[in-house]
Chain A
Amino acid sequence: MNFPSLDRETITGIKKSIDSTFREFASNWGEWFTELLSPIHWLLIHFEKLLLATPWYIFLGLTSLLLWKVTQNWKLILGFLISFNLIGLVGMWDDTMRTLAIVVVSTLVCIVVGIPTGILMAKNNLAQRIILPILDLMQTIPSFVYLIPVIMLFGLGKVPGLIAISVFAIPPVIRFTNIGIREINKDLTETAHALGLRPMHILRLIELPLARNVILGGINQTVMMALAMVVIASMIGVRGLGSQVMNSIGNGYLGLGVISGLSIVALAIIIDRAIQSHNKRHDKWRDNK
């Protein structure tokens, strides 16, 4: 027996009223939203241009220096140099830079929005109860459900790409910040409070430093998820390694698929190992002290 559903006209009516409400909204507010996010759009375009314009040897040199400063792990740097030289040799350099650009900017957006949200959740149980299911929703809802409206609002290209990536990738940084702060021994914060430290000071001097490794773990997860989303982003017009993957899928080019897929993997592994190795070094330094 069929489930007693609403009659077809009513269901159609509901779906159509959602459609027309959204169309109305997009036609009135599309311009306004585009303006609102134009600074991020500018950053996306210009950061990509900068990476593309940087000569490869300068990019390799500066990034090696940066990696050395954060990790002091020469094996990682060697791995980075080898994999990026291979990427350049197989002609994936420009696409790798494009992907790096959008992943870096998306991660920054996730951090700037995510860490304060995580702190709010840690401090306020009601906020946690409200935000947790929203995070679940963000990680499970099929991206195209919200991407189609997003493209209608913002047009094709980088901004919808950034939104797609950030919606999917921001939950870890929020969750880890929340957990990191909640896990801190209450005695510490209570002592600090008794000594007269203000909540802002407690946060800055005690909680954030102690939660640091957990939060970095969250950021690491966020970067990984951002990289996993570059293929979806390419389906709405973000160029980069993702569009090469799409190209290989669309035309059945196995070789191109392997090369572009492995380039994404290389990017992911290097970022992941850099953050982990930084954490390890930090721990060692703290234990010795």
Chain B
Amino acid sequence: MKRFIMIIGFVLMSAIASAGLFTATKADDIKIAELNWQSGSMIANIDAYILEHGYGHNIEIVPGGIDATIQSMMATGSPNIFGEAWTSLLGDSAHEYIANGSLIQVRSEVITGAGEGWFVPRYMVEEYGLNTIEDVLARPDLFPHPEDPSKGGIVICPEGWSCKKHNENLFRAYDMEAKGWRLIDPGSNTGLNAHWEGQVIKHKGAFGYYWTPTVLVGRLDLVALPSTEGYAGDDNWANCISKAVDECVNPQASSWPISKTGTIVTPGLNQEVVNYLTIRGFDGSVITSMLVWSDDNQATAEEAAVEFLRQHPEIWTAWVTPEAATRITASLN
């Protein structure tokens, strides 16, 4: 047994040593975090392609998620580029790191018009003229709740998502119970997606939580609704709507805030890389259309990135130097 442990230990140690060697020899590589959601992984692949083929950098794409990536960047300084960072979800310590320069935010809006919200399918807007949240709330009859069709149903976030609190507090802020509404708990992300998909296929009323840019919003043509109240301020949002229901005594009705998606990098990156990241940004509708394209073709994020570069040279050539643009165009053909 003792010998067995020793062997295991030896194997582990040599693995760690060789991993160290491995990273040491590739010190010039730029590591890009491929985020575990659709737009995040596509943007990572676009960045990787441009930096690799346009500027000749060695790029390594490493898998990640919001928490995993930012924690790893703070602890080890790797990966180097976090392309689509939802800044409101990063946590306080990450903001401290950015404030004291240990991490650098090179761009504050990567995707315009990204964010969460309450959506309806476009046909509900066109057929019934529902242009605001208030318009929808006046018509619970168009959105019958599955278990009590006399009430309207609004689908919210599954258990365990932080947005569940936002939904519950907004439900109270709009006094929706009195207006004849009940919550629909989708149970999981899968349940939420299948609910939207099913309702739209059947051309029925559907109202509730989703976020953009996503394939689902693009494919089902969902529209985010504003509130006639507008956005009721950060204080209301941060100190009431975002808190647990019993900590939010007097919630105010409000539009959903626009989510900021930034790009965060580790210090010491090559200046031309930083320049590129500072300029490049996407319109939400372009991202959505590319996501729908990749869904239609069941393409990988890498294929979607190449397709974006092929379809939209007018967008990305503005981000890069003319020489880089030539090299990228050449590599695409």
Interface residues in chain A, defined as those with a beta carbon under 8 Å from any beta carbon in chain B: 12, 15-16, 23, 26-27, 30-31, 45, 144, 147-148, 151-158, 234-239, 243, 246-247, 249-251
B201 near A: Cβ within 8 Å? yes
Of B184, B201, B296, the contact of A156 (CB 8 Å cutoff): B184
Across the interface, which residues of B come within 8 angstroms of A251, CB to CB?
159-160
Across the interface, which residues of B come within 8 angstroms of A155, CB to CB?
146, 195, 198-199
Q: Is the CB of B187 within 8 A of A144?
A: no
Excluding A27-B203, A152-B197, A156-B195, 9 further A-B contacts by CB distance (< 8 Å) are: A30-B198, A148-B193, A152-B198, A156-B185, A236-B188, A236-B190, A246-B160, A250-B161, A251-B160
Q: What is the CA–CA distance of A247 and B185 in the complex, to the nearest angstrom?
A: 12
Q: Is the CB of B195 within 8 A of A243?
A: no
Q: Is the CB of A246 within 8 A of B198?
A: no
Q: Which residue of B lies closest to A13 (CB)?
A: B298
Give B221-273 interface residues, CB cut-off 8 Å to A: none
Q: Is the CB of A235 within 8 A of B190?
A: yes
Across the interface, which residues of A come within 8 angstroms of B188, CB to CB?
235-236, 246
Q: Take A26-B198, A30-B198, A152-B197 as given contacts and tell me if A239 and B185 are in contact as well, using a CB distance cutoff of 8 Å.
A: yes
Instruction: Output the residue of B147, B160, B187 with the most chain A CB within 10 A.
Output: B187
Q: Which residue of B lies closest to A25 (CB)?
A: B201
Of A26, A156, A249, the contact of B186 (CB 8 Å cutoff): A156
Q: Mark B176-213, 1 if CB is under 8 A from A, else 0.
A: 00000000111110110111011101110000000000
Across the interface, which residues of A come within 8 angstroms of B186, CB to CB?
156, 236-237
Of B161, B198, B203, the contact of A153 (CB 8 Å cutoff): B198
The 30 listed contacts between A and B (C-beta, < 8 Å) are A16-B296, A27-B201, A27-B202, A30-B198, A45-B147, A148-B190, A148-B194, A151-B191, A151-B194, A151-B195, A151-B198, A152-B194, A155-B195, A155-B198, A156-B184, A156-B186, A156-B191, A156-B194, A157-B184, A235-B158, A236-B186, A236-B187, A236-B190, A236-B191, A237-B187, A237-B191, A246-B187, A247-B159, A250-B161, A251-B159
Q: Is the CB of A23 within 8 A of B159?
A: no
Q: What is the CA–CA distance of A274 and B197 in the complex, to the nearest angstrom?
A: 43
Q: What is the CA–CA distance of A26 and B193 in the complex, to the nearest angstrom?
A: 15
Instruction: Output the residue of A27, A154, A155 with the most chain B CB within 10 A.
Output: A155
A48 CB to nearest chain B CB (Å)? 9
Of A12, A156, A236, the contact of B155 (CB 8 Å cutoff): A156
Q: What is the CA–CA distance of A84 and B105 in the complex, to the nearest angstrom?
A: 55
Q: Is the CB of A26 within 8 A of B298?
A: no
Q: Which residue of B lies closest to A249 (CB)?
A: B160
Q: What is the CA–CA distance of A234 and B160 in the complex, to the nearest angstrom?
A: 13
Q: Is the CB of B298 within 8 A of A238?
A: no
Q: What is the CA–CA distance of A12 and B297 in the complex, to the nearest angstrom?
A: 7
Instruction: Output the residue of B185, B296, B297 with the most chain A CB within 10 A.
Output: B185
Across the interface, which residues of A come within 8 angstroms of B201, CB to CB?
23, 26-27, 30, 152
Q: Is the CB of B147 within 8 A of A157?
A: yes
Q: What is the CA–CA distance of A234 and B190 in the complex, to the nearest angstrom?
A: 12
Q: Is the CB of A147 within 8 A of B190?
A: yes
A73 CB to nearest chain B CB (Å)? 37
Q: What is the CA–CA distance of A170 and B199 in the complex, to the nearest angstrom?
A: 29
B218 CB to nearest chain A CB (Å)? 16
B143 CB to nearest chain A CB (Å)? 12
Q: Is the CB of A250 within 8 A of B191?
A: no
Q: What is the CA–CA distance of A157 and B188 in the complex, to the nearest angstrom?
A: 12
Q: Is the CB of A237 within 8 A of B184?
A: yes
Q: Is the CB of A238 within 8 A of B198?
A: no
B149 CB to nearest chain A CB (Å)? 11
Q: What is the CA–CA distance of A154 and B204 in the complex, to the nearest angstrom?
A: 12
B182 CB to nearest chain A CB (Å)? 11
Q: What is the CA–CA distance of A66 and B202 in the complex, to the nearest angstrom?
A: 44
Q: What is the CA–CA distance of A16 and B298 in the complex, to the nearest angstrom?
A: 9
Q: Is the CB of A234 within 8 A of B298?
A: no
Q: What is the CA–CA distance of A249 and B201 in the complex, to the nearest angstrom?
A: 32
Q: What is the CA–CA distance of A246 and B191 in the complex, to the nearest angstrom?
A: 13
